[in-house]
Amino acid sequence: MDYLSSLMTVCFLFATVVFYITNGEPVVPALFIFGDSIVDVGNNNNLHTVVKADFFPYGRDFVTKNPTGRMSNGKLAVDYASEFAGFTSYQPAYLNLNTKGSNILNGANFASSGSGYHDSTSIQYHVIPLMNQLEFYKDCQEELVKLVGKENATSIISGAAYLLVDGSGDFAQNYFINPILQNLYTPYQFSDVLIEEYYNFIQNLYALGARKIGVTTLPPIGCMPFIITKFGYHSNKCVETINNVAIYFNKKLNLTTENLIKKLPGVKLVIFDIYQPLYELIIRPSDYGLFEARKACCGTGLLEVAILCNKISIGTCADASKYVFWDSFHTTEATNKILMDHLIPTATSLLYSNQTVR
């Protein structure tokens, strides 16, 4: 298919999405989310872990003006994705639900901040490993059957969209600060290990009925304020040696995804490239109406994250809307909105197209 035909197809699909949304119907029956802190909306709140965000100033610009467990000042990109799909309420943090019932009819979020493809990432932070998130999803399926019956539950499961966002913590919060892993693997060998975990996870998710699955690439990890501070050797520029590892991982992710598509009949598996748009945003923030990409908003903007980003953090900015990063690992609501706007064509293809867009 040539470029013009592809563009026309995406425009048609986008128009279809808009039609459904403006008519008050979500374009898919449910959305299920797995992964790490980029998409966690509060599953860590009641865990005994330091990787949580259920306190100020996290959430200060969210719609409720309260911390929810989101690692940002406001909405995450997945919140914007939920809105784009036509949902009028966000998918809840599954572990925070006292009562499942109708709360899970539009899907659920199983993501856990500090998690990763590699079990050691989750274990050291006492959070929910990816495969355990899948076990919670199985429990969610059983709850759906109780609620709407097996036939309707099956229809929801097969028609739902699934999102997997993982891998950043495996490197930024584990490998590059873990001498044990560094002695076992080069960063590229460790990437290969993570890709095997990704391959297995998608097969298991498919076996549970998922057919529309979106997966994000790694972001430019070397541009995170924490990483520049720790590994930049007094430079304010992105650590390109670490970015090169993310680029390698993303190439392997694309190749492995192509193999999975060939292996799994009827799967619609798309890759959301967040590396390139975020890299461009960091390199040229003023092009997008932002002005600060080296330092985060919270505290000094160089190291603060999770419990170190708190209401007494000295230096926290008054207006996060001009910053790329909220804390030293995570992006602001403003950045999340820009990213989601960039990803709309891919999101549209996941919801409607029979073709895989990468």
- Active-site residue list: 37, 327, 330
> Distances from the Cα of 237 to the Cαs of 175, 222, 242, 276, 295, in angstroms?
21, 9, 12, 16, 11
Q: Which long-range contacts link 7-16 to residues 24+ away (Cβ below 8 Å)? A: 9/353, 9/355, 10/345, 10/348, 10/349, 10/353, 10/357, 13/348, 13/349, 13/351, 13/352, 13/353, 14/344, 14/345, 14/348, 16/352
Dihedral (CA of 100, 34, 86, 65) sign: positive
Q: Can you read off the two tokens belonging to residue 290? A: 């932002």
Phi/psi region, residue 266 (left: phi>0; alpha: psi -120 to 50; beta: rest), is left
CB-CB neighbours of 259 under 10 Å: 10
Distance CA 122, CA 137 (A): 18
Q: Are 336 and 77 in contact (CB under 8 A)?
A: yes
- Counting Cα atoms < 13 Å in the Cβ hemisphere of 237 gives 3
Beta strands across the sheet bearing 161-165: 107-109, 31-35, 161-165, 212-216, 268-272
> Is there a cis peptide before residue 57, judged by omega within 30 degrees of 0?
yes
Place of tokens 């029979």: 354
Please list, in sequence order, all residues whose beta carbon lies within 8 angstroms of the beta carbon of residue 167, skipping any fewer than 6 positions away.
36, 116, 117, 194, 198, 218, 249
Distance CA 303, CA 256 (A): 34
Exposed / middle / buried, residue 241 (Cβ in 10 Å: 0-12, 13-18, 19+): exposed
